[in-house]
């Protein structure tokens, strides 16, 4: 059994390691960071990602080898069509990304966000869902059939959004139903950030981080902020 002294030593070692790899926090405010992201998305919509190219060179890579100072955290879906670096025309060292099917959150995702807030000083979090999300569609259409345990854990995380939409029943078609589930899932996941993490809640209430919600359109390439 591990002693308390050994555990304290381990915690101190981990904190020191994190501090060693973290550079000085970004000087951008949350609003400036969001402006950077949306400007980059506007460029991507036009089929251009010049900033991504300029920030992916050997010299940039080498300059970042000793540390990082990202200015935005993006919680996004694992869908291969939704890579945040490309959608926002951002390069190395700029955005701290957590990707998981359905852009859901559990302890690992929350811990990753907490690390970026506390040790990297990131001022902005975006929860990014997207049109025709396969994970949300699977949850919306789930009829109680047995699924592999780990896949079900994702479906189970999305079901609260599905049940909320079903209760309102404001949709006329299946596509509208799924789209409302996608939006509701983005909203509920955003809420989870501050209900399931005391650290994120503290940072948010102290004004140290701004949290926004976005939805990516697969057809036109735009990321639209939602309320």
* Per-residue model confidence (pLDDT) at position 24: 75
Calculate the CA dihedral of residues 186, 189, 191, 194 and round it to 10 degrees: -140
The answer, yes or no, to whether residue 163 has pLDDT greater than 60, is yes
pLDDT for 63-102, tens place per residue? 999 999 999 999 999 999 999 999 999 999 999 999 999 9
Instruction: Output the CA torsion sign for 128, 133, 139, 145.
Output: negative
Helix runs in the chain, H state only: 4-21, 30-45, 50-54, 58-63, 84-87, 107-120, 134-140, 149-168, 174-195, 198-205
Q: Which CATH class is domain 25-226?
A: alpha beta
What pTM does this model have?
A: 0.89
The answer, yes or no, to whether residue 21 has pLDDT greater than 90, is no
Rounded CA-CA distance 34/178 in Å is 27
pLDDT for 199-226, tens place per residue? 999 999 999 999 999 999 999 999 999 9
pLDDT, averaged across the chain: 92
Q: What are the residue ranges spanned by the domains of the chain? A: 25-226
* Per-residue model confidence (pLDDT) at position 149: 97
């Amino acid at each position: 059994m591990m002693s308390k002294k050994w555990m304290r030593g381990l915690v101190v070692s981990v904190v020191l390691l994190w501090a060693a790899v973290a550079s000085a926090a970004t000087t951008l405010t949350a609003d400036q960071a969001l402006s950077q992201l949306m400007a980059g998305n506007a460029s991507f919509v036009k089929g251009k990602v010049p900033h991504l190219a300029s920030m992916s060179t050997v010299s940039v890579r080498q300059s970042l080898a000793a540390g990082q100072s990202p200015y935005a955290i993006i919680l996004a879906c694992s869908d291969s069509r939704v890579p945040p670096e490309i959608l926002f025309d951002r390069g190395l060292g700029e955005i701290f990304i957590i990707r998981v099917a359905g852009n859901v959150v559990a302890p690992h995702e929350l811990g990753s966000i907490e690390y970026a807030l506390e040790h990297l000083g990131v001022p902005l979090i975006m929860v990014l869902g997207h049109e025709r999300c396969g994970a949300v569609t699977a949850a919306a259409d789930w009829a109680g059939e047995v699924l592999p345990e780990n896949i079900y854990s994702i479906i189970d995380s999305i079901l609260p959004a599905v049940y909320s939409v079903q209760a309102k029943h404001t949709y006329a078609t299946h596509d509208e139903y799924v789209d409302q589930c996608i939006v509701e899932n983005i909203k509920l996941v955003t809420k989870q950030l501050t209900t399931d993490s005391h650290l994120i809640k503290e940072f948010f209430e102290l004004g140290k981080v701004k949290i926004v919600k976005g939805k990516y359109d697969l057809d036109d390439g735009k990321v639209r902020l939602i309320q």
